[in-house]
Amino acid sequence: MFMRSTGLGKTQLTGKIVEMQCQGDYLIAQIDIIDPVKWRMRVAMSFRDLAGIVGACMKASILKLLLSPKQWFDKKPKQPGDF
């Protein structure tokens, strides 16, 4: 997974989700940033946040990506470019 922050300029961060757990009324996702720094990020998402994510994923272009057989077996997807 690639991430960018407006606070870090053009720096692209590489990371992976390492754990998800429920804590109270929130889903906590822990993400390890592995390049160019070693950070552990935590994201707390409420039900409303999750519903917003699911709703945003209902766009045709995103459903096409999720349901594409190529995506399930592609070991190294193409870089997204400047996002």
Mean pLDDT over all residues of the chain?
92
Residue type, 20: M
Q: What was the pLDDT predicted at 55?
A: 95
pTM above 0.85, yes or no: no
Q: Rounded CA gap, 61 and 35, in Å?
A: 29
Measured in residues, the chain has a length of: 83
Q: Rounded CA gap, 57 and 66, in Å?
A: 9
Neighbours of 31 (CB within 10 A): 19
- Looking up tokens 């757990």 gives 21
- pLDDT tens digits for 48-61? 999 999 999 999 99
Give residue limits of the domains in the chain.
2-73
